[in-house]
C-alpha cells in the first residue's frame, strides 16, 4: 500500500509544499505548490506576511489532497528557526511576525548582554551567540516597551508550531526548533529557567515541548470542510528545517554536513551536546536532532542569502539572472582576486549587496570587483574557504576527523560551488538531495507510521530515491596558500 505524506517547508526566500509517496522501496517526492516568501520593511522593522504564508499552506494542502485522491496519511511542517507569533486563549494571532533579520535585537544588544553576558548564555543554552536568536528578540521587546505581550499573551509559538496551531488548534513547541531558541536546557531537557528568569519571560508563555514523531492532532473539521478535503493527522517532525535536512544526508560514519540554502549550516552529528570554551570561541551551536546519536553541532554561515540579494539587486535594475547564469559568469572571472568574510555583519541585512561587497573589498584590497562575475566569484570562493574553516573547527571540538563533506539542500545543485568546496577543503564532496528538508520531514512521518525502522533505513531510502553527485578535490596546494591568506586577512581563530 502506498503511504502519502505532505511536507510543508518554509524558507527565508520561498515556501514549498511536497507530496511524498512511499511504496515500500522508494520515496517519490514531488512539489505541488510553491510561493515566494520575502520580509517587508515598515519603519525600519522587518516582518513576515504570516497570513499569506498560512494561505499558501492551505492552498498546498488542498492541491496535495486532490492529487493524492484524498489519501494523505499525515503532514509535517518545518521552517527556519527563531521567529514566532503570539496567540490568545482562542488561538487568535496577537501581533505581526517579525523577521529574524529585524534590527531590534542589535539596537538593544548592550542592554541584553548586560542582563546576562554572552559566555554565560552559551554555557547555559549551548547555542550560538547571534542577534537572530529567539531570546534576543524577546529581550528586545521587553527593552522597547512591549513587555505587555510577554506578560499577557497566552502562548508564544515558533513559526511551524504557530501554523500547526492554526490548522489543528493544538499548541506545542517541537524539540529541534525549541533547542535553538537560546532558551532550552540540554542538561535538564526542558526550558531553561535561569535564562527565562533573567529576562522575565514567563515559562507559561512557552508551550510544552514535544519530540519529532509525535502525532499532534488532526486537521480541524471546519477547516477541512471549507477546503473540501478529508481530515488527516499532523506529525511534529524535525521542525527546524536544518534538522530535517541533516536527516536526509545519505552518509555512513563520521562526516561533515552542509545544509546549503539561504543559510549554510556546516555541522556534524554527535551523540550529545559539547559545550566548552572552544564552542564559544568559534560560536558553534548545539542543536537538537532526532533522538539517538543525531544531536547536531553546527556553525552558521551566511550562505546563499548573499547571492539571493545580488539577484534581487540585479532584478531591480531589469537584469534578472538565474543561479546557473550567475555561476557561469563566476567561472569566467579571475580566481582568488577578492575574498570576503561571508559572516561580516554588513551582509546580514537586505539591500544593495554588490555595493556592500565592493566596500568590504576596498577596505581589504584597496580595489573592488566590478563585474557581476567577479563579485559572484568572490562570494563563492569565500563561502568555500569559510566552509573549510568551519569543518576544521568542528573537527577540533568533536575530536574526530570528518573525511567527507555532504552538501544537502538547494545549494547542492550549484555544481561550481560544490567543486570549489571540494577543492578548498581537499575533501570529497557528496551532493544531494536538493529537496533534503522534504525528505527528512517525510522520513520522520514514515517512522511515526511504523513504515521505517529508523534514520539509517531512511537514509538508505533517500540514497535510492534521489540524485546524488560526487566531487573530487583538485589543486589542494593552491588552495592551501589561499586559505592561509584568507584566515590571516580576516583574523579567523
Enumerate the β-bridge partners of residue 174.
Answer: 210
User: Considering only CA atoms, which of 441, 445, 443, 450 is closest in space to residue 464?
Assistant: 443
Helices 305-316 and 323-331: crossing angle, nearest 10°?
A: 100
Cell of 438: 522534504
User: Considering only CA atoms, which of 290, 242, 236, 211 is closest in space to residue 455?
Assistant: 290
Residue 48 and residue 26: Cα distance in Å, rounded?
A: 36
Spatial contact of 83 and 244, defined as CB atoms under 8 Å apart: no
Neighbours of 293 (CB within 10 A): 11
- Look up 49 and say whether it is catalytic: no
- For residue 65, report the phi and psi dihedrals to the nearest 5 degrees: -65, -45
Residue 68 and residue 307: Cα distance in Å, rounded?
A: 36
- For residue 293, report the phi and psi dihedrals to the nearest 5 degrees: -85, 50
Residue of 9, 83, 102, 241 with catalytic role: 241
Distance of CA 96 to the CA centre of its chain: 21
Question: Helices (DSSP H) in 42-158: which residue ranges?
Answer: 50-67, 104-107, 109-115, 118-125, 134-143, 147-152
- Cβ neighbours of residue 465 under 8 Å, at least 6 residues apart? 26, 27, 28, 29, 433, 439
Spatial contact of 156 and 147, defined as CB atoms under 8 Å apart: no
Residue 239 and residue 380: Cα distance in Å, rounded?
A: 29
Could you give the residue numbers annotated as active site? 241
Amino acid at each position: 500500500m502506498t503511504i502519502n505524506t505532505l511536507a510543508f517547508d518554509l524558507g527565508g526566500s520561498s515556501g514549498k509544499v511536497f507530496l511524498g509517496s512511499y511504496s515500500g522501496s522508494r520515496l517519490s517526492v514531488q512539489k505541488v505548490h510553491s510561493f515566494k516568501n520575502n520580509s517587508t520593511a515598515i519603519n525600519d522593522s522587518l516582518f513576515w506576511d504570516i497570513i499569506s504564508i498560512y494561505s499558501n499552506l492551505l492552498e498546498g494542502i488542498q492541491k496535495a489532497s486532490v492529487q493524492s485522491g484524498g489519501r494523505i496519511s499525515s503532514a509535517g511542517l518545518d521552517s527556519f528557526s527563531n521567529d514566532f507569533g503570539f496567540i490568545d486563549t482562542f488561538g487568535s494571532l496577537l501581533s505581526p511576525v517579525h523577521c529574524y533579520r529585524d534590527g531590534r535585537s542589535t539596537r538593544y544588544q548592550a542592554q541584553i548582554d548586560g542582563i546576562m553576558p554572552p559566555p554565560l548564555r552559551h554555557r547555559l543554552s549551548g547555542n550560538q551567540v547571534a542577534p537572530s536568536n529567539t531570546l534576543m528578540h524577546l529581550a528586545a521587546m521587553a527593552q522597547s516597551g512591549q513587555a505587555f505581550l510577554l506578560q499577557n499573551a497566552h502562548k508564544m509559538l515558533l513559526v511551524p508550531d504557530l501554523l500547526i496551531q492554526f490548522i489543528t488548534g493544538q499548541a506545542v513547541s517541537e524539540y529541534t526548533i525549541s533547542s535553538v531558541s537560546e532558551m532550552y536546557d540540554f542538561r535538564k531537557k526542558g526550558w531553561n529557567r535561569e535564562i527565562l528568569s533573567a529576562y522575565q519571560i514567563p515559562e507559561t508563555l512557552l508551550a510544552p515541548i514535544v519530540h519529532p514523531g509525535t502525532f499532534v492532532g488532526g486537521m480541524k473539521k471546519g477547516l477541512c470542510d471549507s477546503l473540501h478535503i478529508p481530515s488527516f493527522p499532523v506529525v511534529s517532525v524535525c521542525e527546524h528545517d536544518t534538522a530535517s535536512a541533516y536527516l536526509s544526508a545519505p552518509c555512513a560514519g563520521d562526516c561533515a554536513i552542509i545544509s546549503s540554502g539561504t543559510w549554510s549550516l556546516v555541522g556534524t552529528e554527535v551523540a550529545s551536546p559539547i559545550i566548552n570554551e572552544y564552542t564559544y570561541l568559534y560560536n558553534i551551536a548545539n542543536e537538537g536532532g532526532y533522538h539517538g546519536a543525531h544531536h547536531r553541532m553546527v556553525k552558521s554561515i551566511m550562505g546563499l542569502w548573499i547571492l539571493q540579494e545580488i539577484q534581487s539587486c540585479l532584478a531591480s535594475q531589469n537584469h534578472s539572472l538565474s543561479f546557473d547564469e550567475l555561476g557561469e559568469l563566476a567561472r569566467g572571472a579571475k580566481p582568488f582576486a577578492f575574498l570576503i568574510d561571508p559572516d561580516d555583519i554588513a551582509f546580514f541585512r537586505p539591500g544593495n549587496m554588490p555595493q556592500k561587497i565592493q566596500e568590504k573589498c576596498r577596505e581589504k584590497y584597496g580595489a573592488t570587483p566590478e563585474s557581476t562575475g567577479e563579485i559572484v566569484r568572490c562570494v563563492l570562493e569565500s563561502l568555500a574557504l569559510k566552509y573549510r574553516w568551519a569543518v576544521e573547527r568542528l573537527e577540533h571540538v568533536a575530536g574526530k576527523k570528518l573525511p567527507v563533506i555532504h552538501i544537502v539542500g538547494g545549494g547542492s545543485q550549484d555544481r561550481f560551488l560544490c567543486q570549489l568546496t571540494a577543492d578548498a577543503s581537499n575533501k570529497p564532496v557528496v551532493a544531494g538531495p536538493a529537496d533534503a528538508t522534504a525528505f527528512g520531514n517525510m522520513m520522520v512521518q514514515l517512522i511515526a507510521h511504523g513504515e521505517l525502522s529508523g534514520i539509517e533505513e531512511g537514509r538508505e531510502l533517500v540514497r535510492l530515491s534521489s540524485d546524488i553527485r560526487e566531487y573530487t578535490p583538485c589543486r589542494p596546494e593552491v588552495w592551501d596558500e589561499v586559505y592561509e591568506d584568507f584566515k590571516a586577512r580576516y583574523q579567523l581563530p
